[in-house]
Structure 1
Amino acid sequence: MAGLLKWLVLAMGVACAAIGVFHFALGIDSVPGEGSAGATVDSRERYYGAVFLGYGLAWIWAARQSPVPSTAVRWLAGIFLLGGIGRLLSMAVHGAPQSFQIVLTVLELALPPLYFWLSDADERAAAARPPVRRRADPARP
């Protein structure tokens, strides 16, 4: 389970960072249906792209820790879940979005429970491993 957690956390980080770069670089052209939204929405889209890049880098940071910190995974997964809830709220207020946005909503609601479930797998695995004993160095007093 610890290996699966590390892989999933890293995959989430790389995906989010790539999505952030994509939105930052393309602005409103990165979102279906927003092509005529104008400068204000383009500015917002590029800002959110930078924030999403940072969010992805936080996932990558967590994946590179040993063990992967369960608190960080829970917080990051909670933020992802909150984004999915925001999409549901938008659907309730404004109706169904473009179909790809619905797919994203499903992912944002389905993946966090998996991360919550696996969040402490690496910490548990590290606690179960016997401590590493260092050999005495004859050159050191």
Structure 2
Amino acid sequence: MSRALRMFAWATGLACSAIGLFHVIAGNAAIPGESDAGATIDSLGRFFGAIFTGYGLAWLWAARQHPVPAQAVRWLAAVFLLGAVGRLLSLAAHGWPHPFQVALTAIELALPPVWFWLAAADERTTRRPAQETP
């Protein structure tokens, strides 16, 4: 479990950092169907791109710890899940977004339970040897 959690955290960190940097660099062009959204949305998107880059770096930090801190994984997964909740609220308030955003919502709903499960499983296996030592 430890290797799976580490690799999953590493992949998540790389993906989130790359996506965040893409939004910082590309601005509105990074948002499907919104390349002409204007200066306000461009500014907002680039700002949140920087935040998402930091989020990815937090995953990379967690992936580099030995063992991977389960509590950090839970918090990072919860933030990801909160993003999905935000998308669902937007869907309820404004209707269906671009299909790519719908796919992202599905991913954001599906991955946190996997992270929660991996963190709990890894925590059990890393604790067990310490508890069995006399």
Does TM, normalized by the shorter one, top 0.5?
A: yes
Distance 2:122 2:64 in 1: 12
| Gap runs ≥5 in structure 1 | 131-141
Aligned counterpart, 1:47: 47
Q: Which amino acid aligns with 1:23?
A: H
Aligned-residue Cα RMSD (Å) equals 1.2
1:100 and 2:92 equivalent? Answer: no
**Aligned residue for 2:116?**
116
Q: Give SS of 2:114's match.
A: helix
The secondary structure found in structure 1 opposite 2:105 is helix
| Residue 16 (str. 1) matches residue 16 (str. 2) | yes
Match of 1:6 in 2: 6
1:34 CA drift (Å): 1.4
Q: Secondary structure at the match of 1:120?
A: helix
CA distance in 1: counterparts of 2:122 and 2:60, whole angstroms: 15
Structure whose residues are more often helix by fraction: 2
Supply the AA of the counterpart residue of 1:105.
T
CA distance in 1, matches of 2:120, 2:57: 20
Over alpha carbons, which structure has the higher Rg? 1
Post-superposition Cα deviations, 1:88-134, rounded to whole Å, max 9, x if no partner, equal 1111111111111011000000000110111133343333447xxxx
Q: Secondary structure at the match of 1:119?
A: helix
User: 1:33: how far off?
Assistant: 1.8
Partner of 1:64: 64
Instruction: Give the partner amino acid of 2:67.
Output: P
CA deviation vs aligned residue, 1:51-101 (integer Å, no higher than 9, x gap): 000000000000000000011000000000000011011111111111110
Contact kept, 8 Å, 1:9 with 1:60, in 2: the verdict is: yes
Q: Which moved more, 1:43-52 or 1:117-126?
A: 117-126
Identity of aligned residues (%): 58
The count of aligned residue pairs is: 130
Q: TM-score, normalised by structure 1?
A: 0.87
CA distance in 2 between partners of 1:42 and 1:21 (Å): 14
Q: Which amino acid aligns with 2:104?
A: L
Inter-partner Cα distance in structure 2 for 1:76 and 1:6: 14
Does structure 2 retain, via aligned residues, the 8 Å contact 1:69–1:120? Answer: no
